[in-house]
Amino acid sequence: MKVHRRKFLHFAAATAALPALPRMASAETYPSRPVRIVVGFPPGAATDIIARLVAEGLSQRLGQQFIVDNRPGAGSNIGAETAIKAPPDGYTLLAMTVTNAVNATLYDNLNFDFLRDIAPISGTIRSASVLEVNPGVPVETVPEFIAYAKANPGKLNYASFGNGTAPNMAAELFKMMTGVSLVHVPYKSSYMPDLLSGQVQLTFTPIPLTISYIRSGQMRALAVTSATPSDALPGIPPIAEFVPGYEANIWHGIAAPKNTPPEIVGALNKAINAVITDPAMKAKFANLGAEPMPMTPVECQKFIAEQIDKWGKVVKFAAMKPE
């Protein structure tokens, strides 16, 4: 009887382990076919550029093609939903960005819960914007700008690409934290011509889009939106130096659908972090005014939750609605 009981226990233990075998095998052989990275923006957008750089690095490192699939529309929500509703097998990923965190509050009737329905893998990059003014605005520093704005309420217009976009969110966070009055002027295309002519007076623009105008003296940089100075604009202080706690980074990352096997998430996390911290890739990011943002999946989950909470407060402060 003892022998039979021992055999039974061995058999039961082996049977209990069987369900784990397919998942372990899939992680060991992953990826065995091309992987698509869904981007919720058109080709040429910042999220698309970063996704293509990361895809190229992953293809080289993991020996399978990582292909960018652009699904623009609805403020990037079409792309997010496409990835979230894909099979959770590691072969469809999402190139996520700060916009996804903003949209979690900005849109009332999404068909998904962004934080609940993804498996965060890692960040990829973060980059700063710059608070810049037309040279006709008589200020040189952030304190002077705040004083001027308070002395001229409602007379300063700031340009953005619309509600929920990076320039809009950075400006509204600034308004919320300083109490200044700035008028939002949204644009569907480039606002630089009006900014250069003085039709609008200021903006919070991603550094790569405006650095040439700053260097030529056509625009005046007052401060960057990151918590620390940016190497792309030496000598320009962070807004946080004058407005403690202010930070409005543009960030990007990679996520998978919820219930993607943790072994695959772990393998992707290791590969992505290796790609983005490679010296050659860091140099490419630096040319875009960006720096790598490696994270563990747990850190990424916490970061996204904090971002949703942070930008949700700004959306409510500004009584913002999608356009």
pLDDT in tens, the chain (323 residues): 344 444 444 444 444 444 444 444 456 789 999 999 999 999 988 899 999 999 999 999 999 999 999 999 999 999 999 999 999 999 999 999 999 999 999 999 999 999 999 999 999 999 999 999 999 999 999 999 999 999 999 999 999 999 999 999 999 999 999 999 999 999 988 999 999 999 999 999 999 889 999 999 999 999 999 999 998 899 999 999 999 999 999 999 999 999 999 999 999 999 999 999 999 999 999 988 899 999 999 999 999 999 999 999 999 999 999 97
pLDDT of 27 reads 63
Distances (CA, A) of 22 to 25, 28, 33, 152, 289: 5, 10, 17, 66, 43
pLDDT of 288 reads 85
Question: What is the rounded CA–CA span in Å between residue 117 and residue 84?
Answer: 6
Sign of the Cα torsion 158, 163, 166, 171 reads: positive
Instruction: Convert the pLDDT of each residue in 17-60 to its tens digit.
Output: 444 444 444 567 899 999 999 999 999 888 999 999 999 999 99
Find the DSSP H helices in the chain.
2-17, 20-29, 46-62, 77-84, 98-106, 142-151, 166-178, 192-197, 207-215, 262-276, 279-287, 297-317
Question: What is the rounded CA–CA span in Å between residue 292 and residue 303?
Answer: 15
Give the list of residues 6+ apart from residue 254 with CB closer than 8 angstroms, or none: 37, 54, 93, 94, 95, 96, 121, 122, 124, 268, 272
Give the list of residues 6+ apart from residue 218 with CB closer than 8 angstroms, or none: 135, 196
**What DSSP string describes 148-191?**
HHHHSTT--EEEESSTTSHHHHHHHHHHHHH----EEEE-SS--
pTM, 2 dp: 0.87
Mean pLDDT value across the chain = 92
**Of residues 293, 318, 306, 314, the one with CA closest to residue 121:** 293
Question: What is the rounded CA–CA span in Å between residue 77 and residue 249?
Answer: 20
Residues present in the chain in total? 323
pLDDT of 2 reads 44
The two tokens of residue 256 are 């998978």
Domains and CATH numbers, the chain: 32-127+250-317 (3.40.190.150), 129-241 (3.40.190.10)
| N-terminal to C-terminal alpha carbon distance within the chain | 75
Instruction: With residue 220 as reference, give the H or E element that holds it.
Output: strand 220-224
Sign of the Cα torsion 54, 60, 66, 70 reads: positive
Question: What is the rounded CA–CA span in Å between residue 51 and residue 66?
Answer: 10
Q: Is 211 in a helix, a strand, or coil?
A: helix
8 A C-beta contact, residue 162 and residue 188: yes
**Of residues 38, 169, 162, 182, the one with CA closest to residue 102:** 169
Q: Is 312 in a helix, a strand, or coil?
A: helix
